Amino acid sequence: MPAHVRFYTDPACPWSWGAEPALRRLLWEFDGQLEFTWVMGGLARSYGNEYSDSASGVGTGADCFTDLISHWLQVTAETGMPVDPRIWAENPLDSTYPACQAVKAASEQGWELGYSYLRRLRDGITVGRRKLDHMDALLAEAGPAGLDRDRFEIDLRSNAITEAFAADLDEVRDPPQEARDADAVGETEGKERISFPSAVFVPADGVSSSDGEPASAGEASGRERHGVWGDSARDPQALRGAALAAGAVQVNEGSLEPLDAIERLGRCATAELVELAGRPRPPVEAELWALARDRKLKPVPALTGTLWELP
């Protein structure tokens, strides 16, 4: 495996949802060339009137839930990824910590299944307005994500996963200097953190931690580490450059057409299909609706956009 990627995120982070077009482009371009560790950032121990997040401006208005609605609408306007912020008015999450731990548990079955599970949580929270912050709801997502549910439940309830998530929190709250230099450090619940999403690419022969995991953002040397911080992690060119610098080989380029993309990746938002096709949005949208007319695709309306899946 030529390169490892430590990807800093949270299942409820709207900017990370907005980065999915770039991430999916990266996964396709470097198919089989990258191995991911999903570093869970713990965006909120507890939502409520005391919650604040400097990067999103949450905590500056009348209440955090009104601020979150405004922030999500800002993200969808900038990224084109659909959201439904009514979750914060109707059925708000209590915390993102349970979902973060669930992603760590899912990743015990491989990083690909970890991503499949993370993607389901992102979709369910940001578009589906689902309260994915408690055990029963998180367990219910295991089967549809392709996980061994029984193994997932054992892992999710284990002390090892609690400790793994705690280690992620420590890493996220100790930003390296290059993240500071990139202005990709914020403050959440009174503590510094790396901006989400961010990614660090390390060559396979780079520094590794004692447990065999790829080195954390602070462990690898500057020569070995290729960071893509904050807003840059939504830029496909920045991610591609870091992957190449870390020794990965690009195996796909050009256009991945919408129907092929959905058959390969599953449900996709319009913005993702535009990025993968590498063409302007109007002709891609016209093609999508033509495929829907011919019953080759099914449109799934969201409050601020459309997702597409096989019928």
pLDDT of res. 62: 76
Structure tokens at 188: 């959440």
Can you state the angle between helices 258-265 and 270-277, rounded to 10 degrees?
A: 120
Residues 204 and 265 in one domain: no
Q: How many angstroms separate the CA atoms of 119 and 52, rounded?
A: 25
Structure tokens at 245: 């610098």
Establish if 252 belongs to a structural domain. Answer: no
Establish if 250 belongs to a structural domain. Answer: no
pLDDT of res. 206: 67
Q: Any idea what the CATH number is for the domain that residue 300 is in?
A: 1.10.10.10
Mean pLDDT across the stretch 262-278?
Answer: 97
Contacts 24+ apart (CB under 8 A), 169-178: 169/40, 169/41, 169/42, 171/39, 171/216, 171/217, 171/218, 172/8, 172/39, 172/41, 172/42, 174/218, 175/217, 176/217, 176/218, 176/227, 178/222, 178/225, 178/227, 178/229
Whether the CB-CB separation of 94 and 34 falls below 8 Å is answered with: no
Q: Any idea what the CATH number is for the domain that residue 199 is in?
A: 3.40.30.10
pTM of the model: 0.94
Query: Could you tell me the strand order of the sheet in which 34-40 lies?
Result: 34-40, 3-9, 198-203, 226-228
Establish if 98 belongs to a structural domain. Answer: yes
Q: How many other C-beta atoms lie within 10 A of the C-beta of residue 260?
A: 13
Residue-wise pLDDT tens digits, 15-30: 999 999 999 999 999 9
Residues 111 and 241 in one domain: yes
The widest CA-to-CA distance across the chain, in whole angstroms, is 55
Q: How many angstroms separate the CA atoms of 281 and 287, rounded?
A: 10
Q: How many angstroms separate the CA atoms of 259 and 203, rounded?
A: 33
Structure tokens at 276: 């993968």
Establish if 251 belongs to a structural domain. Answer: no
Q: Is pLDDT at 210 greater than 80 in this prediction? A: no
Residues 265 and 222 in one domain: no
pLDDT of res. 64: 92
Count how many domains the chain has: 2
Q: How many angstroms separate the CA atoms of 39 and 296, rounded?
A: 36
Residue-wise pLDDT tens digits, 149-164: 999 999 999 999 999 9
Residue 205 CA: distances (Å) to CA of 8, 88, 298, 310: 21, 44, 44, 40
Residues 149 and 297 in one domain: no
pLDDT of res. 207: 45
Residues 155 and 282 in one domain: no
- From 245, 273, 292, give the residue that closes a domain: 245
Residue whose token pair is 């439940």: 153
SS3 at position 223: coil
Q: How many angstroms separate the CA atoms of 223 and 85, rounded?
A: 41
pLDDT of res. 218: 56
Q: Determine the structural domain holding residue 215 and report its residue range.
A: 3-245
Residues 85 and 118 in one domain: yes
- From 245, 266, 298, give the residue that closes a domain: 245
Residue whose token pair is 């970890």: 114
Q: Is pLDDT at 68 greater than 70 in this prediction? A: yes
Residues 278 and 203 in one domain: no
Mean pLDDT across the stretch 65-76?
Answer: 96
